[in-house]
Amino acid sequence: QVQLKESGPGLVQPSQTLSLTCTVAGFSLTSYNVHWVRQPPGKGLEWMGVIWNTGGTRYNSALKSRLSISKDTSKSQVFLKMNSLQTEDTATYYCARDPHYPGIHYVMDAWGQGASVTVSS
């Protein structure tokens, strides 16, 4: 059964760095890409970035200077780090699997439950 689960601190102080972990089960990170998507309270979805099965990454240009995504394949974990957090970064952060449809990227067929992050002093 495909599962993804985000973990990390619920509260981060302004200007600090957010670190989140996505632990996956039921599939291999060597075969599937994993995305990060966030959703501010009561608002829409924003794609943040992706780590390819090969280990390469691609980021939303609006976040690129602050964002880093990496993974430990042996532990089935994907990591998100974002620095210089501000109150507008308050959101639920999701990791999601790319189903790897032929020729299609950036579609997400399985999502974690989400990690709620509040940026506040």
Partner 1 sequence: DIQMTQSPASLSASLGETVTIECRASEDIYNGLAWYQQKPGKSPQLLIYNANSLHTGVPSRFSGSGSGTQYSLKINSLQSEDVASYFCQQYYDYQNTFGAGTKLELK
Q: Which residues bind partner 1 (CB under 8 A)?
A: 37, 43-47, 58, 60-61, 94, 96, 99, 101, 104-109, 111-114
- Which residue, 8 or 46, has its beta carbon nearer to partner 1? 46
Can you tell me the distance from the alpha carbon of 119 to that of 83, in angstroms, rounded to the nearest whole number?
A: 12
Q: With contact defined as beta carbons under 8 Å apart, do 49 and 94 qualify?
A: no
Report which of 64, 61, 58 is spatially closest to residue 82, judged by C-alpha positions. Answer: 64
- Which residue, 101 or 121, has its beta carbon nearer to partner 1? 101
Smallest separation, CB 1 to partner 1 (Å) = 13
Smallest separation, CB 45 to partner 1 (Å) = 4
Smallest separation, CB 108 to partner 1 (Å) = 6
- Which residue, 45 or 73, has its beta carbon nearer to partner 1? 45
Smallest separation, CB 114 to partner 1 (Å) = 6
Can you tell me the distance from the alpha carbon of 9 to that of 64, in angstroms, rounded to the nearest whole number?
A: 22
Cβ neighbors of 10 (< 8 A, separation 6 or more) are 115, 116, 117, 118
Report which of 88, 69, 85 is spatially closest to residue 20, judged by C-alpha positions. Answer: 69
